């Protein structure tokens, strides 16, 4: 009964309940020692010189929160029986990484915790974490098949990162999440800076959930001009957010949160419809042939996308050829078999497809030839080096020539100088976009600027 109450039935490791009790036992004397040290400095009364006596070191204790990378995919593809066998193999390997005095527990599906103490210096923790990473990275043989996993590890240390089990576990978990955000298969220590960053992210997530209903999200529009003439031919719709407490929140901050939480689906649907509606108004009052470019998050590339686009075009009455959807190279390469039919359907509807930030995603020519693409957007990192940087010139020239050979046109983004614009014009880049022609502005300002340029003022 004792064994059943304290052990994980699948792996035989300690379970979460035992881990909590064990950490309580380990922390109680350490916390008392820390409090005793702190109390020694709070004596009131006149300062009395005392001989310098070094305080005894507080016994060390650290928590390593280990989360497997890639396990869910194996579980989904090979089935739960293979997944369970894999977890048992992981438990055996982790047991080989720790000392007899350490505590190893399985606390969730593919989550494990190591509690270790009485070590010499922090290098012991880095060596332990690296040992775990190395042993998990070795291939697993299960049921006649070979599987590969990784691990993300977060580390919290008593007493700086917490004096109780709950706080140490929570902070180790936060550090593990940070390790995943940094590319997975690495370890990170909990820090005060990380704590502030996570608190900021939590505040953004909570406020973002209310932003849609409270109309805090808005669109700004940056002009896209014809390279040969400089006249406005379209606009890119860019999402902006102003919150009463957080102020102006950068898209670089809130878009990843929206993607992680799935909020980007509802946000993206709203952006698409509002951008289409605004374009219909501009095509009636500003210029009949104006086009609109809308960015798609990778999370939006699903079976629901076709319905969202179709309903937005139908509700607003926008001609499909006026809508250009921008996707990244990563979307093309991630799951081409699933993406291809979606893009083909959009192309048959008359919607234009553009590859955003081209040149940064390492896509191959074979991918570009396979998909129904209409335009490439040269990334601003290449445009920034024009026309003086030899490599930037060579790359941009090659991208334009390649796009034309495949029947696509090219938009250069991040154009800020007349020299850049002149060079791009000289190599046949059809469209340009950047601060040289205008910053992202609200709809009213965009319309006034378009009217001014059309009138030749």
Cis previous bond, 387, omega within 30? yes
Looking at residue 123, what is its pLDDT? 93
H-helix or E-strand spanning residue 326: strand 323-328
Q: Which residue do the tokens 């409270």 mark?
A: 214
Looking at residue 336, what is its pLDDT? 75
Tell me the two tokens of residue 331: 């979307």
CA angle 320–325–329, rounded 5-degree value: 150
Nearest to 376 by CA among 304, 440, 313, 433: 433
Nearest to 323 by CA among 354, 286, 292: 292
Tell me the two tokens of residue 104: 């190893």
Cis previous bond, 441, omega within 30? no
Q: Which residues of the chain are under the pLDDT cut of 70?
A: 32, 34-59, 359-366, 454-457
294 in helix, strand or coil?
Answer: strand
Under CATH, what is the fold of the domain 2-31+57-190?
Alpha-Beta Plaits (3.30.70)
Largest CA distance in the chain: 87
Residues 392 and 382: beta-carbon distance below 8 Å:
yes
For residues 110 and 73, what is the distance between their CA atoms, to the nearest angstrom?
12
User: What residue segments make up the domains of the chain, in order of their start?
Assistant: 2-31+57-190, 202-455
For residues 67 and 154, what is the distance between their CA atoms, to the nearest angstrom?
9
> Rounded to 5 degrees, what are φ and ψ at 127?
-65, -40
pTM of the model: 0.76
Please list the alpha-helical segments (H only) found in 40-95: 71-78, 80-95
Instruction: Please state, in angstroms and as integers, the Cα–Cα distance from residue 14 to each residue in 8, 86, 196, 391, following that order.
Output: 6, 17, 32, 57
Looking at residue 446, what is its pLDDT? 94
For residues 28 and 163, what is the distance between their CA atoms, to the nearest angstrom?
9
Looking at residue 168, what is its pLDDT? 96
The contacts of residue 418 (CB under 8 Å, 6+ apart) are 436
Check residue 162 and give left, alpha or beta (phi > 0: left; psi -120 to 50: alpha). Answer: left
Query: Which of 3.40.50.720, 3.20.20.450, 3.40.50.10420, 3.10.450.50 would CATH assign to domain 202-455?
Result: 3.20.20.450
Looking at residue 457, what is its pLDDT? 44
Looking at residue 37, what is its pLDDT? 56
Looking at residue 43, what is its pLDDT? 39
For residues 259 and 352, what is the distance between their CA atoms, to the nearest angstrom?
24
Secondary structure percentages of the chain, helix, strand, coil, to 5: 50, 20, 30
Please list the alpha-helical segments (H only) found in 112-158: 123-137
For residues 116 and 59, what is the distance between their CA atoms, to the nearest angstrom?
11
Beta strands 375-378 and 409-413, pairing class: parallel
For residues 328 and 300, what is the distance between their CA atoms, to the nearest angstrom?
12
The contacts of residue 179 (CB under 8 Å, 6+ apart) are 152, 153, 154, 186, 187, 188
The contacts of residue 308 (CB under 8 Å, 6+ apart) are 268, 269, 272, 300
Looking at residue 57, what is its pLDDT? 60
Looking at residue 19, what is its pLDDT? 96
The contacts of residue 189 (CB under 8 Å, 6+ apart) are 125, 154, 155, 156, 157, 175
Beta strands 217-226 and 431-433, pairing class: antiparallel
Residues 151 and 65: beta-carbon distance below 8 Å:
no
> Rounded to 5 degrees, what are φ and ψ at 253?
-90, -45
Print burial letters for 8-34: b (CB count within 10 Å at least 16), e (below 16): beebebbbeebbeebbeebbeebbebe
């Amino acid at each position: 009964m004792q064994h059943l109450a304290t052990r994980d039935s699948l792996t035989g490791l300690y379970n979460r309940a035992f881990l909590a009790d064990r950490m309580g036992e380990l922390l109680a004397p350490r916390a008392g020692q820390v409090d005793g040290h702190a109390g020694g400095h709070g004596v009131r009364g006149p300062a009395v010189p005392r001989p310098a006596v070094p305080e005894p070191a507080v016994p060390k204790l650290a928590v390593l929160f280990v989360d497997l990378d890639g396990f869910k995919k194996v579980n989904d593809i090979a089935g739960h029986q293979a997944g369970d066998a894999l977890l048992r193999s992981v438990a055996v390997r982790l047991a080989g990484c720790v000392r007899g005095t350490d505590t190893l527990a399985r606390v969730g599906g593919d989550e494990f915790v190591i509690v270790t103490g009485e070590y010499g210096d922090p290098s012991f923790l880095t060596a332990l974490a690296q040992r775990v990473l190395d042993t998990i990275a070795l291939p697993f043989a299960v049921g006649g098949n070979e599987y590969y996993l990784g691990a993300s590890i977060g580390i919290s240390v008593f007493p700086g990162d917490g004096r109780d089990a709950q706080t140490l576990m929570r902070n180790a978990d936060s550090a593990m999440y940070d390790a995943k955000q940094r590319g997975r298969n690495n370890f990170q220590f909990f820090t005060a800076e990380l704590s502030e960053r996570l608190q900021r992210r939590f505040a953004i997530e909570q406020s973002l959930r209310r932003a849609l209903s409270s109309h805090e999200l808005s669109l700004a529009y940056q002009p896209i001009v014809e390279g040969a003439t400089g006249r406005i031919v379209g606009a890119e719709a860019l999402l902006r957010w102003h919150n009463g407490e957080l102020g102006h929140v950068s898209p670089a901050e809130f878009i990843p949160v929206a993607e992680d939480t799935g909020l980007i689906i509802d946000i993206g649907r709203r952006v698409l419809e509002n951008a289409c509606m605004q374009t219909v108004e501009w095509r009636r009052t500003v210029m009949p042939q104006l086009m609109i470019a809308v960015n798609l998050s990778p999370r939006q590339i699903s079976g629901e996308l076709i319905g969202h686009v179709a309903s937005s075009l139908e509700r607003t009455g926008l001609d499909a050829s006026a809508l250009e959807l921008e996707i990244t190279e990563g979307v093309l390469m991630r799951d081409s078999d699933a993406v291809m039919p979606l893009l083909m359907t959009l192309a048959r509807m008359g919607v234009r497809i553009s590859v955003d930030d081209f040149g940064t995603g390492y896509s191959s020519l074979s991918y570009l030839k396979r998909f129904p693409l209409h335009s490439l957007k040269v990334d601003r990192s290449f445009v920034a080096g024009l026309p003086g940087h030899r490599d930037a010139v060579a790359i941009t020239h090659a991208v334009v020539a390649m796009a034309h050979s495949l029947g696509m046109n090219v938009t250069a983004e991040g154009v800020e100088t007349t020299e850049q614009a002149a060079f791009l014009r000289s190599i046949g880049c059809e469209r340009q976009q950047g601060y040289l022609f205008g910053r992202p502005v609200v709809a009213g300002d965009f319309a006034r600027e378009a009217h001014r340029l059309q009138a030749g003022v």
